């Protein structure tokens, strides 16, 4: 029996463009012109995937996601314009249970193979998520929301929560984290769990376009007692700080004559499917840091980004962790890293979170 997709968008052009792409997967396709239609159809039929626009008449995509996830949990892929405003709204949709997002066709060059590939990869990956896995993910999200503390910004003081070690020469462990589909909520949990006296440095690649990483970094900074920064060229790497790789560029590291370690950006995408790339970040770290001072972590995501580099840092003496199939929303990236021999310990996310937060 073919899988079924519900395309929700008030634009006939966008519906047509998405349908032409998704039809190549041999999925059955239905349409809704607004959120209210989507809720009605989604509660009468169990779709394998729903693509959901944000701004629509009668009922917007955020309200529709909320109602669908309450009545008939379904893997939902948000269709978002590449704007900061839509990035913030899309993050809210992920909090309500949406799994991932794609760029609205009108905001990208639809003719480019990589855009078409990304849409097809994500629709196919979401169609493989079981209802059991989806409901477990929703349960974790609900628990996180109930426990969400007041914004850090309202209770953080510079003097008593920021590390007093302010030079890259004092770096201890550098934790390199890669994630994709299903990852933003996990990254937020990691940031929220870090204690004020945390001495290590986190560098995170979450597959996102540039407008999204800027908004996501601000969101993480509000949840974290440490500073969370979106990376920039020549930014110094400091202890007790979290760095989120800027979308649209690869990040790496360089050591200056003074001994200072800085961020290096590379705008050349090369052969990588994703930019930033987890592989690029980890491989660059190996050129600067001793393997014993690195920790590699691969979380949920589509594809194999980071798998080859995890093998390299493990061989160099790094401690490597991969999310287990049991907890991963999409068991793609961590599976490839594990199968290739790059994962020292494969654990559920709660155990990975504990390992990172208590690392000495």
Per-residue pLDDT of 2-60, as tens digits, reads: 999 999 999 999 999 999 999 999 999 999 999 999 999 999 999 999 999 999 999 99
pLDDT value at position 155?
Answer: 42
- Tell me whether residue 200 is one of the annotated catalytic residues: no
Q: Which tokens belong to 269? A: 């995408």
Mean pLDDT calculated for residue range 198-221: 94
pLDDT value at position 50?
Answer: 98
Segments making up each domain of the chain, as ranges: 4-140, 159-357
Q: What is the separation, in whole angstroms, between the first and last Cα of the chain? A: 51
pLDDT reading at 110 higher than 90: no
- Tell me whether residue 180 is one of the annotated catalytic residues: yes
pLDDT value at position 239?
Answer: 94
pLDDT, one tens digit per residue, over 149-188 is 555 544 454 434 444 557 888 888 999 999 999 999 999 9
pLDDT reading at 337 higher than 70: yes
pLDDT value at position 231?
Answer: 97
The one catalytic residue among 80, 81, 127, 207:
207
- Dihedral pair phi/psi, residue 243, rounded to 5°: -120, 125
pLDDT reading at 270 higher than 80: yes
pLDDT value at position 107?
Answer: 57
pLDDT value at position 145?
Answer: 55
- Tell me whether residue 159 is one of the annotated catalytic residues: no
Question: Per-residue confidence at 195, pLDDT binned at 50, 70, 90?
Answer: very high
Question: Per-residue confidence at 135, pLDDT binned at 50, 70, 90?
Answer: confident
pLDDT, one tens digit per residue, over 271-329 is 999 999 999 999 999 999 999 999 999 999 999 999 999 999 999 999 999 999 999 99
Higher pLDDT, 159 or 123: 123
The one catalytic residue among 81, 180, 277, 324:
180
Question: Per-residue confidence at 344, pLDDT binned at 50, 70, 90?
Answer: very high
pLDDT value at position 150?
Answer: 53
pLDDT value at position 172?
Answer: 85
Distance CA 241, CA 187 (A): 14
Q: Does the fold of domain 159-357 match that of domain 4-140? A: yes
pLDDT value at position 14?
Answer: 92
Higher pLDDT, 92 or 136: 92
Question: Per-residue confidence at 359, pLDDT binned at 50, 70, 90?
Answer: very high
CB–CB of 276/246 below 8 Å? yes
Task: Output the average pLDDT for the chain.
Answer: 90
CATH number of 4-140: 3.40.50.2300
Beta-carbon count within 10 A of 210 CB: 17
The one catalytic residue among 163, 179, 305, 324:
305
Fold of 159-357: Rossmann fold (3.40.50)
pLDDT value at position 264?
Answer: 97
In sequence order, the β-bridge partners of residue 5 are: 29, 49
């Amino acid at each position: 029996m073919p899988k079924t997709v519900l395309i929700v968008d008030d634009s006939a052009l966008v519906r047509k463009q998405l349908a032409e792409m998704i039809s190549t997967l041999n999925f059955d396709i239905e349409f809704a012109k607004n959120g209210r239609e989507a809720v009605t159809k989604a509660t009468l039929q169990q779709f394998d995937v729903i693509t959901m626009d944000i701004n629509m008449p009668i009922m917007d995509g955020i309200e529709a996601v909320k109602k669908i996830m309450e009545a008939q949990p379904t893997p939902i892929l948000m269709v978002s314009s590449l704007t900061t405003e839509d990035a913030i709204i899309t993050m809210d949709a992920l909090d309500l249970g949406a799994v991932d997002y794609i760029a609205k066709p009108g905001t990208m060059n639809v003719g480019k193979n990589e855009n078409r590939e990304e849409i097809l990869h994500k629709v196919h990956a979401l169609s493989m998520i079981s209802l059991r896995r989806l409901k477990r993910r929703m349960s974790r999200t609900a628990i996180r929301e109930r426990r969400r503390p007041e914004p850090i910004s309202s209770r953080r003081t510079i003097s008593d929560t920021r590390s007093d070690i302010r030079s890259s020469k004092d770096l201890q462990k550098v934790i390199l984290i890669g994630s994709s589909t299903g990852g933003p909520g996990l990254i937020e949990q990691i940031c929220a769990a870090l204690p004020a006296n945390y001495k290590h440095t986190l560098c995170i690649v979450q597959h996102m376009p540039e407008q999204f990483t800027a908004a996501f970094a601000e969101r993480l900074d509000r949840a974290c007692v440490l500073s969370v920064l979106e990376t920039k060229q020549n930014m110094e790497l400091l202890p007790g700080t979290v760095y989120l790789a800027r979308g649209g560029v690869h990040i790496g590291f360089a050591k200056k004559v003074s001994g200072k370690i800085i961020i290096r950006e590379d705008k050349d995408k090369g052969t990588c499917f994703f930019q930033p790339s987890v592989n690029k970040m980890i491989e660059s770290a190996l050129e600067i840091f001793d393997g014993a001072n690195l920790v590699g972590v691969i979380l949920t995501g589509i594809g194999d980004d980071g798998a080859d580099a995890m093998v390299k840092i493990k061989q160099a003496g790094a401690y490597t962790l991969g999310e287990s199939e049991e907890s991963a929303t999409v068991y793609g990236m961590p599976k490839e890293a594990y199968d290739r021999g790059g994962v020292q310990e494969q654990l559920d996310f709660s155990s990975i979170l504990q390992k990172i937060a208590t690392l000495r």
